[in-house]
Structure 1
Amino acid sequence: MRDGFVSYKRVGDLQALLARQELNVEQSYYFLCWSHKVSGIRRMLPEAKDFPSPEGQMFNSKFELRWKKQGKGYEVLLLSIEPKNELGFEEIPGKWKADDRSAYFYNAGETRFPKGFTFKDEKDEDIDPTKIPVGQRYFQNAATATVHFVALTVGTEK
C-alpha cells in the first residue's frame, strides 16, 4: 500500500477543469453517464453536443476524477496517488492509503446496457477491451482500515 490523496471541489466549468495541464500529463480514459445511456470507456471526450455529461469519470494510472452535476455546477472528487494541491481541491480529512487491485471490464456484448458496452480509441473506433490495462485502486482510511472509495486505474498497455 502507498499513500493516497482524497479531495473534492465544486466547479462551475467542468470543461475548464478537465483541460488543465496538471490533469493532462498522461493518456486518460473517460466513462460518461446520462440518465438514459452510458458512453462506455473512451480515450477521448465526445463532441460538444454530448459533453459535459451529468456524471462521469476521467482516469489514468495516477488518479481518477469523478464528477456529478449539482445545480449549476459540478461536485468533483479526486482520488489520487499524487497530491494535486495546485488545483485548489480541499482534502477530505484522514490518513489515506491506496491499494491497487486487478479488475475486469464488461465485454462489448454485455446485455445490461441498451446498445452494449463500448470501448473507443482516439479516432472513436472500437478498442479490444482485453488490451486495456484496467485495474482498481482501493482508498482506505488507515486509522479504521475501512475502504471508502474504489477508483478505476490503468497500468501499462497489455
Structure 2
Amino acid sequence: MSELDKVDRAILSALQSDGRMSNARLAEVVGLSETPCARRLRRLESAGYIERYRAMLSRPALGLGVVAFVYVRFAVHDRAVALRFEREVLGISRILSCHNVSGSADYVLQVVARDLDDYGAFMRDELRGLPGVTSVESALSLREVKANGSLPLP
C-alpha cells in the first residue's frame, strides 16, 4: 500500500485513540460498513502501518514517579561495543526508549524509576556498567506536558 486515503487515515486515527475499538464501532466512526472496514484494517496491518496493539499503562499507578532522560557518552566509538550496549539496553525494562543520536551524546535514553533512590541505584548498579559507557548526564522530568504516543498522519 503506497498511499493512504482519507478513510485509511481515519481508521488509523481512530485506532490511535482507542486500539480496543470493535470493528463495528470502527466502521461506524469512519463511515463504512463492517466488512469493508475489516478488509481495510487487515490491509493496513499487513502493509505494516499498524505494528501492534497494546495498552498504555499509568506510570503513577505503577509507582514509577521518576522519568529521566539520560545522555550516554562513549570514549571509544567501536561498533562492536555499541552493538553490545544496544543488546544490553533491550533487556532492561525500565529503559523505555533508546536513541542513537548526533551531538555531544552517543545515546539518549528515557528511563523510569520509583523514586530518586531507585534511579540512583539503577545508575550506579546497571547503567554505568554497560559496555562502552564512560559518562552519563541526567535530565529529570519535572512535569509531563504531552505523552499521547499518537503519530501525525500524512
TM-score range for the pair, normalised by the shorter chain length: 0.3 to 0.5
Higher helix proportion, which one? Answer: 2
TM norm structure 1: 0.31
Higher strand proportion, which one? Answer: 1
TM norm structure 2: 0.32
